[in-house]
Amino acid sequence: MCSSIDDCDLAILANESSRMTVADGRSFIEEGAPANDFFVVTGGRVKLFTLLPDGRRQITGFAEGGHFLGLAASTSYAFGAEALGGATLCRFPHAGMQRLTERFPNLEHRLREEASRELALMQARMTLLGRKTARERVATFLIERCQHLEKPDLSHPVELDLPMPRTDIADYLGLTIETVSRILSAFKKEKLISIRSITHITLLMPERISTIAEGME
Amino acid sequence: MCSSIDDCDLAILANESSRMTVADGRSFIEEGAPANDFFVVTGGRVKLFTLLPDGRRQITGFAEGGHFLGLAASTSYAFGAEALGGATLCRFPHAGMQRLTERFPNLEHRLREEASRELALMQARMTLLGRKTARERVATFLIERCQHLEKPDLSHPVELDLPMPRTDIADYLGLTIETVSRILSAFKKEKLISIRSITHITLLMPERISTIAEGME
DNA sequence: CGCAGGTTTGAACGCAGTCAAGGATCGTGG
DNA sequence: CCACGATCCTTGACTGCGTTCAAACCTGCG
């Protein structure tokens, strides 16, 4: 987001924001709470989720460095947010953000772009949740992780680090941890991936996994 | 959207847009096609969807009068769109829209609000698709329909008109038509609803249905 | 070493899907 | 006006995928 703002204006920006750090597992946005701030993730990772009254949870996204949070909110937040292994954030009160958009008109455009990008992602995720099989979901998740790397290249084996526990993967994919675990084991048995440790997975045949992800087996 | 623009400026607006009518079932946005236009639904209804290669379909939303389409697109559309019983639209080429946002700065803000509203809706829909049971999904759908009425009031019976076929309801909820049909029949048997005709349904106990929708049975 | 948390694996169940037949409803043409 | 066919919807019987319940297995840490 900062890319849309001149260097010499960083002081103004800093003036409207405050930095904060959130410890692992600590929640910093409460679903349904009055939405007073925007956030930018500056370090670490964050998970966004919504809850049902009985505790069922849907993780709606993972956010990392540079990600913008709080667009999916009018007066109250439509989601909760929690640090995933510690995170640092920039907090922008709505009022301050409004001053910024008046000062930097193209910032508003930038925010819309961010929202559009997010919308497009969510469309794909709805298809995943509504129409894909468990195998396809896990495959999609692995490919998504690849594309978050700096150099996404599916023509060679890819080493992945999954910073989130299985519980989070399951709640992200609309599955149970057992199903996620079983399917990862199946992929391993099929020599599609190798599991070096719980968090460290190598995609041995990324393109085949991508094919599975698209539902073309 | 037009509410953010002065009456006397309508001419400028009209100059940048063109009207079009789409016949029932006719597609006017092709998923993946280059995104050159925004659309505003001015009459009738429209369904938005994404497809998997083998034909599985997820309907990501229904849009009616006043709704804005095309925000979930960067260079190419992230969804397809099709008229539902005939619709009229306003088409705004991206270039023209840019001229409009330069002329009316608060339009950009308006677009972001629209995107935010849509994002919040999608969060809820992801929870529906990822974590709700079939019963809860159908109940949620019925309640959603209530809230699209001008006077949403769940304390008395509500008459609903469902303009879309069962196929669309199923693809919207991530279910099959059989399941949707069975659950509507079950609701009827439980005296929660009455089915006057295929499209005309009365919620006899809206609050109980709302309770089911939230997963609190 | 022993405990605790998360993960994997196994066995059985159940919800929603699939397959298939029967019913409505509507438009069309004889 | 009714018969016919097409299309959509409902209902039933059965299957199967993913869940549930439960036990074993790591892995790190006091």
Find where tokens 């001008």 sit.
B150
**How many structural domains is chain A composed of?**
2
CB-based contact A124 B60, cutoff 8 Å: no
Residues B57 and B160 in one domain: no
- In Å, what is the CA distance from A32 to each residue of A95, A200, B215? 20, 35, 17
Per the CB < 8 A criterion, the answer to whether A92 and A40 are in contact is yes
Which residue has better confidence, A14 or A39?
Answer: A39
Select from B129, B144, B177 the last residue of a domain: B129
Give nucleotides in strand C with any atom < 7 A to a protein C-beta: 6-11, 15-20, 25-26
Whether residue B150 sits in one domain with residue B72: no
B122 and B155 share one domain: no
Question: 3-class DSSP state for residue A124?
Answer: helix
Note the pLDDT tens digit of each residue in A183-214: 999 999 999 999 999 999 999 999 999 999 99
Low-confidence ranges of chain B (pLDDT < 70): 1-13
Nearest residue on chain A to B57, alpha-carbon basis = A131
Dist. CA B26–CA B29, nearest whole Å = 10
Give all strands (DSSP E) within chain A, no chain letters: 18-22, 27-29, 37-51, 57-64, 68-69, 80-93, 158-161, 193-195, 200-203
Based on the domain organization, do B190 and B167 belong to the same domain? yes
| A75 lies within 8 A of chain B by CB | no
Check the CA dihedral A176-B57-B83-B100 and report its sign.
positive
Tell me which of B80, B96, B129 is where a domain ends.
Answer: B129
CA–CA gap between residue A187 and residue A207 (Å, rounded): 13
State whether B118 and B147 are in the same domain. Answer: no
Whether A164 and A119 share a structural domain: no
Calculate how close chain A gets to B134, using CA atoms only, in Å: 11
Number of Cβ atoms within 10 Å of the Cβ of A59: 25
Predicted pLDDT of residue B175: 98
- Regarding whether A84 and A165 lie in a shared domain, the answer is no
Domain with B147, as residue range(s), is 132-213
Q: How far is CA B119 from CA A115, A144, B83, in A?
A: 8, 20, 22
- Given a cut of 70, whether residue A10 has pLDDT beyond it is no
How far apart (Å, rounded) are the C-alpha atoms in residues A78 and A72?
6
Based on the domain organization, do B161 and B58 belong to the same domain?
Answer: no
Q: What is the pLDDT of residue B9?
A: 61
**Residue B74's pLDDT is what?**
80
Residue A46 sits in the same domain as residue A113: yes
pLDDT at A217: 80
Same domain membership, residue A192 and residue A119: no
Of B58, B101, B126, Cβ closest to residue A58 = B126
Q: B215 and A56: CB-CB below 8 Å?
A: yes
User: B124 with B136, same domain?
Assistant: no
Residues B99 and B173 in one domain: no
The two structure tokens encoding residue A132? 């894909």
Final residue in a domain of this structure, among A101, A129, A157: A129
Give the CATH number for residue B182.
1.10.10.10
Is the CB of B181 within 7 Å of strand D? yes
Read off the tokens for B56. Answer: 């599985």
B79: chain A residues, CB-CB within 8 Å:
123
- CATH number of the domain within which A16 lies: 2.60.120.10
Q: Work out how many CB contacts closer than 8 A connect A with B.
A: 139
Q: Which of B73, B123, B174 sits opposite A50 (nearest CB)?
A: B123
pLDDT over 90 at A53, yes or no: yes
- For A210, other C-beta atoms within 10 Å of its C-beta total 17
